[in-house]
């Protein structure tokens, strides 16, 4: 018998975790002498009170959907891919090359090519740790995190030495040509009479991210490969019994994971910055871990968690802008949410399970 109903597992536990994180955050804000009510107010209006706020919230959420899905797919094969950051950086490199070095007639074709490049570069970056894990038993957590540093160094080199336009002092590529400009939500919604903020960076990548959620869902729960990935994730000995190759699944799952992380670059590099800069990923690869944890590795959960973290990012930025609450505190609040929803899952889960068991006994 399951210990508690499914709705409690997928809704109640994250909700309680969030409330706990909120309570603790309130205490922290009180402790530095600020008004928590005002702070929440500011965050909500800042992130959700205008199409401008929504535009940023959804922009961040798009990043997190990609990286969250990346971590989630790897989780299903019981692989902990914390290299999303590096894979996304490499994805950015692929996107920049496609956008800069090929003359594109239309953004739509450029987008398809950029997606392919982003996935290819991201997957390639995940392939080496995947191979080392599958064939040599090098722990994927160690290798992927080291590959983040290598990716940063590689990007540094590419931007400073190779791709920086002559005469520029800025370690960044040239601006992408106008032809590869992706439609923003403003441009997409204007024809149907919705006036969305022009300044907000949310763009058509959001649609791609939503599609990616659906595709990942179908992959994991509807295809043979997804079946094999989940089986391997639950039991390696079981997989061997069934003739599912652990080597193959490890590599394939990591390639998909890396491709999804790389795909993020169409949002932040092609959609927003329209050039490749240093630190373009802004830690989204790591947030993806929290998003996947909170979303229970389910694409729909990842979608919701990504929106939540998008809200925290944008609301946090507003908070830093308009109050004397330091930027670091925002990081603390985000960390608390990660801590409670990810790391301290059992703290909420165990008492809740007991409660449900007691309730059920009562009912009998």
Kindly list the residues in this chain that would bind other proteins in the complex (CB under 8 A): 1-3, 218, 222-224, 227-228, 230-231, 234-235, 237-238, 240-245, 357, 360-361, 364
Phi and psi of 277, rounded to 5°? -115, 170
CB of 56 to other proteins, least distance (A): 37
- 290, containing H or E segment: helix 284-294
CB of 245 to other proteins, least distance (A): 7
Q: Considering beta carbons, is residue 131 or 227 the nearer one to other proteins? A: 227
CB of 1 to other proteins, least distance (A): 6
Q: Which long-range contacts (CB under 8 A, 24 or more apart) does 28-35 make?
A: 28/329, 28/332, 28/333, 28/336, 29/325, 29/329, 32/325, 32/329, 34/323, 34/324, 34/325
CB of 177 to other proteins, least distance (A): 37
Q: Considering beta carbons, is residue 85 or 228 the nearer one to other proteins? A: 228
CB of 353 to other proteins, least distance (A): 9
Q: Considering beta carbons, is residue 195 or 364 the nearer one to other proteins? A: 364
- What residue has token string 């998008």? 310
CB of 134 to other proteins, least distance (A): 15
- What residue has token string 């597992």? 9
CB of 89 to other proteins, least distance (A): 32
Q: Considering beta carbons, is residue 171 or 295 the nearer one to other proteins? A: 295
Q: Considering beta carbons, is residue 34 or 345 the nearer one to other proteins? A: 345
Q: How buried is residue 152: exposed, middle or buried, by Cβ count under 10 Å (0-12/13-18/19+)? A: middle
Phi and psi of 226, rounded to 5°? -60, -40
Who contacts 197 (Cβ-Cβ below 8 Å, separation ≥6)?
50, 51, 52, 54, 55, 186
- Specify whether the CB–CB gap between 89 and 244 falls below 8 A: no
Number of neighbours of residue 357 by Cβ within 10 angstroms: 13
Tokens of 361: 């006994």
Q: Considering beta carbons, is residue 35 or 235 the nearer one to other proteins? A: 235
Q: Considering beta carbons, is residue 175 or 354 the nearer one to other proteins? A: 354
Q: Considering beta carbons, is residue 140 or 231 the nearer one to other proteins? A: 231
d(CA 273, CA 271): 6
CB of 364 to other proteins, least distance (A): 6
- Specify whether the CB–CB gap between 46 and 318 falls below 8 A: yes
In 3-state terms, what secondary structure has residue 184? strand
CB of 155 to other proteins, least distance (A): 36
Q: Considering beta carbons, is residue 226 or 288 the nearer one to other proteins? A: 226
Helices (H), 1-139: 6-7, 13-31, 36-48, 51-76, 84-101, 107-131
Q: Find the distance separating the first CA and the last CA of the chain, reported in whole Å.
A: 15
- Specify whether the CB–CB gap between 175 and 168 falls below 8 A: no
């Amino acid at each position: 018998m399951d210990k508690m109903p499914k709705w409690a597992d997928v809704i109640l536990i994250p909700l309680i975790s969030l409330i706990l994180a909120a309570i603790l955050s309130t205490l922290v804000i009180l402790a530095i002498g600020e008004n928590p009510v005002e702070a929440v107010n500011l965050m909500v209006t800042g992130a959700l009170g205008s199409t401008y706020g929504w535009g940023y919230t959804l922009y961040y959420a798009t990043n997190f959907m990609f990286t969250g899905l990346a971590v989630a797919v790897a989780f299903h094969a019981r692989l902990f891919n914390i290299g999303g950051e590096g894979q996304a950086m490499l994805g950015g490199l692929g996107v920049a090359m496609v956008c800069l070095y090929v003359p594109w007639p239309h953004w739509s074709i450029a987008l398809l090519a950029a997606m392919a490049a982003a996935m290819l570069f991201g997957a390639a970056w995940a392939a080496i740790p995947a191979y080392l894990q599958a064939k040599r038993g090098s722990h994927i957590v160690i290798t992927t995190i080291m590959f983040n540093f290598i990716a940063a160094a590689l990007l540094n080199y590419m931007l400073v030495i190779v791709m920086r336009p002559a005469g520029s002092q800025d370690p960044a590529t040239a601006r992408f040509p106008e032809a590869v400009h992706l439609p923003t939500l403003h441009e997409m919604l204007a024809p149907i009479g919705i006036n969305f903020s022009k300044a907000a960076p949310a763009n058509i990548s959001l649609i791609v991210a939503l599609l990616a959620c659906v595709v990942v869902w179908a992959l994991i729960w509807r295809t043979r490969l997804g079946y094999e990935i989940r089986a391997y994730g639950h039991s390696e000995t079981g997989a061997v019994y069934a003739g599912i190759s652990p080597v193959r699944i490890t590599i394939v799952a990591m390639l998909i994971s890396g491709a999804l992380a790389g795909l993020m670059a169409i949002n932040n590099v092609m959609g927003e910055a329209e050039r490749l800069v240093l630190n373009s990923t802004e830690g989204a690869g790591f947030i993806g871990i929290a998003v996947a944890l909170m979303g229970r590795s389910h694409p729909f959960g990842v979608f919701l968690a990504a929106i939540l973290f998008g809200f925290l990012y944008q609301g946090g930025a507003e908070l830093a802008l308009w109050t004397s609450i330091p930027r670091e505190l925002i990081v603390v609040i985000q960390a608390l949410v990660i801590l409670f929803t990810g790391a301290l899952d059992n703290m909420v889960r165990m008492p809740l399970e007991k409660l449900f068991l007691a309730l059920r006994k009562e009912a009998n």
